[in-house]
Amino acid sequence: MPKRIIPLTDLKVQRAKPQDKPISLFDGGGLYLYVTPSGGKLWRFKYRFAGKERKISFGSYPEISLLNARQRRDDARRLLANNVDPGALRKAQKQAKIEDIETFEVIAREWFNKFKPTWEESHSSRVLSRLEKNVFPYIGEKPIAQIKAPELLGVLRRLEARGILHSAHNIRGICGQIFRYAVATGRAERDPSADLRGALPPVKTINRAAITDPLRVGELLRAIDCYKGSFVVQCALKFAPLVFVRPGELRKAEWPEIDLEKAEWNIPAHKMKMKQPHLVPLSKQAIEILTELKKLTGEGQYVFPGRTSARPMSDNAILAALRNMGFEKTEMSGHGFRAMARTILDEVLQVRPDLIEHQLAHAVRDPLGRAYNRTQHLNERRKMMQTWADYLDGLKEGARVLPFKAMK
């Protein structure tokens, strides 16, 4: 027998206290009050349409009273009875009002749709999710030209109170881009986010964990050789220290980017942090790994596919494997292979710093201030990558590998 829902009262809504986790107080008919840990009280309506569960927001309490929230619920249920999705209708209405009411949400969605094609899918999804969850419920319906710095700070303070300071800084930056877009298109006079510099505590930077001691590197490489998990993940673990690219670039590697005959991996610009194409010379050891792996995954798109060949390996696969092998998060991370290579190539093998930085795909410029192109110093970098791979083999075998005075 389904649990009977006791309707809310004004007093119960008023006295609802925040807890460590968000709580939902149901009123009936799909309407409920969502109470955040920071004390926010948001009216939400849960319903089903076309076989899928959906949710829409009715605003926050006390701006929207219990009576008003029930009226909005009843309006939404009448739409459903006529086979109309209230959430889709609301979005359409907001888009239709773009000429009349220049609200923050309307301008934000216009900005988002304009720049979305230039972003990676993961980035665009993250941006929209942060706006929908953390910004639109509070200032989304306000005319963008009327929003002042204290109102925006109130949005960010909610995030700070939840202990996600990094997200607060990130959302301030996103909002700043939206306000500047509004200024540029004549819908606002200025960007109030600029007035909030210094209003939030700084984020404490945490260095990504990396093993840089050669003896410990040898232990890590031997552990990888003995890894008992997925063969694809093991190959990714073996490949990562040889190429020291960013974790996202590694897991999204595609077979058409790999030229085994030329021993090169050409990463297109849209996959790179700096939005410049990157060329990775492949050592003999890297070629051996790819040649063996191609027998398994070569018919698909991705070099390191996930559970289905249509998607790349999970961004957590490398981290989980490192933890399973006994390497703690304070000791080694997926990004740590880059710091490992940079440190040892510089301090032990004494490779020219500009070659290392170029291979790390950092911004490197020549003496005239021009950016090096993707093939700059290719022969030297190819020698460096083979020298590095051979050095790692020596560490893995437990040999006493003496530092090179210079790379020949």
Q: Is 396 helix (H, G, I), strand (E, B) or coil?
A: helix
List 12, 54, 77, 372, catalytic entry: 372
List 41, 246, 251, 342, catalytic entry: 246
Determine whether 166 is an active site residue: no
List 72, 109, 158, 335, catalytic entry: 335
- Decide: 108 and 131 in contact? Cβ < 8 Å: yes
- Spell out the residues 6+ positions from residue 281 whose beta carbon is closer than 8 angstroms to its own: 263, 264, 378, 381, 382, 385, 386
Find the length of the chain.
408
Q: At what angle do helices 214-225 and 336-347 cross, to 10 degrees?
A: 140
**What is the C-alpha to C-alpha distance for residues 70 and 88, in angstroms, rounded to an integer?**
20
Determine whether 338 is an active site residue: yes
Best CA proximity match to 26, nearest among 39, 51, 9: 9
Best CA proximity match to 278, nearest among 309, 243, 310, 251: 243
**What is the C-alpha to C-alpha distance for residues 248 and 260, in angstroms, rounded to an integer?**
21
Determine whether 123 is an active site residue: no
The residue whose two tokens read 């000429």 is 99
Looking at residue 211, what DSSP letter applies?
A: -
Helices (H), 281-377: 284-297, 317-324, 336-347, 353-359
Q: At what angle do helices 149-161 and 165-184 cross, to 10 degrees?
A: 160
**What is the C-alpha to C-alpha distance for residues 333 and 315, in angstroms, rounded to an integer?**
12
List 72, 158, 252, 338, catalytic entry: 338
CB neighbour class for 240 (10 Å; exposed up to 12, middle 13-18, buried from 19)? buried
- Decide: 99 and 91 in contact? Cβ < 8 Å: no
The residue whose two tokens read 């220049």 is 102
- Decide: 251 and 317 in contact? Cβ < 8 Å: yes
- Decide: 172 and 129 in contact? Cβ < 8 Å: no
Which pair of structure tokens corresponds to residue 276? 């410049």
Phi, psi at residue 26, to the nearest 5°? -85, 140
List 97, 284, 362, 365, catalytic entry: 362
Determine whether 381 is an active site residue: no
List 273, 284, 323, 329, catalytic entry: 273
- Spell out the residues 6+ positions from residue 216 whose beta carbon is closer than 8 angstroms to its own: none
Determine whether 372 is an active site residue: yes
Determine whether 358 is an active site residue: no
Q: Which residues pair with 278 in a beta bridge?
A: 267
Active site residues: 246, 273, 335, 338, 362, 372
